[in-house]
Structure 1
Amino acid sequence: MKLKTTFIIALFFVGFANAQTKVGTVNSDLIIGKMPQMKGVLQRVENYGKTLDSTFQIKATEYKAKVDSFKAEDKIMTEDDRKNRIIELQKMEQEMAKFRQNGSAMIQLQREQSLRPLYKKMSEVIAEVAKENGYTQILTTNTNQFEYIDERFDITQLVLDKLGIKE
């Protein structure tokens, strides 16, 4: 009976010891920023922004031309023409404001889509490094909400090394 009890207690402690977790940390922003593909991402986003800017400039030039035309013809217009032209200018202003607002969202979307493959690759390498080193959980340090992190458990450099990125 004593042998069975001792055996059960030993199994409990072995199971408890195996259930221990090893938590590591990683700075994913640092890794993404050092990836060589990041330059291409930034260039694509910048080019996309320039395209949107040039489209906006065309709209702004059209708007300015209509405003100048309105000012030049203001004294010879009928009241109905004046109202119609004012409504047209207000619509153009609204369209330009909407374009500006949508442009910011479109640039952000372009950035996210361009970064998605980099984050996927980084996540795969983090998983490999974690498995190779016996980590059960990896937390990101990007938000800086940790009070204390033991540097021994930071795998950022291991991930950079696995990606072939030199400091």
Structure 2
Amino acid sequence: MKSKITVLFIALLSTISIAQTKVGTIDSDYIMSLMPEAKVVFERSQAYGAKLDSSFSLKTQDFQAKVQNFKNKEEEMGELMKKTIIKEISALEEDIKKYQSNGNKLMQLKKNELMRPLYKILNNAINTVAKKNGYTQILTTKGNQFAYIDEKFDVTKLVIAELGIQKQEIKK
């Protein structure tokens, strides 16, 4: 019984010592900036932002016109009419403030929606490179605050090649 436990223990230790990990790093932001599809995403984001800006501009112009109209005709109006128009102008002002505060959130959501397919492409390329080269982990260099990364474990160039992106001057 003791010999079976000893053999099992030795087998477990040898398995653990054999199973080593290979860790690589990647600059995914840099790769995303090189992808030709990123230019399309940028252009679509800009177009969406311009659309939001034009809607905001229309709301602002409508608000200013109503305020100016109210100022011009205020003396001719009765109290009930003044209260009604002031309530309408206040509602427009609130609407403009909400629209303005939601503008950045809407832009970020649109950008994320447009970038999702690019992230999927990048992720597939990273998976392919990791499997081809025996990596067990690939870490991104942005946001993780690494103090030191040995460049021989950087797979950025491999992923760029996997994606078929024309090689530009790689920063490093």
What TM-score does the superposition give when structure 2 sets the normalisation length?
0.88
Matches within 5 A, 1:10-159: 11-12=11-12, 14-159=14-159
CA RMSD of aligned residues (A): 2.1
Deviation at residue 137 of structure 1 after TM alignment: 0.6
Distance between the aligned counterparts of 2:127 and 2:61, measured in 1?
52
What amino acid sits opposite 1:109 in the alignment?
L
Identity of aligned residues (%): 45
Deviation at residue 159 of structure 1 after TM alignment: 0.4
Deviation at residue 18 of structure 1 after TM alignment: 2.6
What amino acid sits opposite 1:22 in the alignment?
K
Structure 1 runs (4+) deviating above 3 angstroms are 4-14
Deviation at residue 99 of structure 1 after TM alignment: 1.3
Q: Encode CA deviations 1:43-85: one digit per residue, 9 max, x unaligned.
A: 0111011111111111111111101101101111112211111
Q: Encode CA deviations 1:102-129: one digit per residue, 9 max, x unaligned.
A: 2221111110010000000100100110
What amino acid sits opposite 2:62 in the alignment?
E
Deviation at residue 14 of structure 1 after TM alignment: 4.0
Q: Which runs of 5+ in 2 are unaligned?
A: none
Q: Which runs of 5+ in 1 are unaligned?
A: none
Deviation at residue 13 of structure 1 after TM alignment: 5.5
How many residues of Structure 1 are paired with residues of Structure 2 in the alignment?
165
Distance between the aligned counterparts of 1:75 and 1:5, measured in 2?
100
SS of alignment partner, residue 115 of structure 1: helix
Distance between the aligned counterparts of 2:113 and 2:44, measured in 1?
11
Q: Encode CA deviations 1:75-97: one digit per residue, 9 max, x unaligned.
A: 11112211111111110000111
What amino acid sits opposite 2:51 in the alignment?
T
SS of alignment partner, residue 139 of structure 1: strand
What amino acid sits opposite 2:27 in the alignment?
N
**Residues 39-48 or 74-83, more deviating:** 74-83
Deviation at residue 143 of structure 1 after TM alignment: 0.9
Distance between the aligned counterparts of 1:154 and 1:115, measured in 2?
23
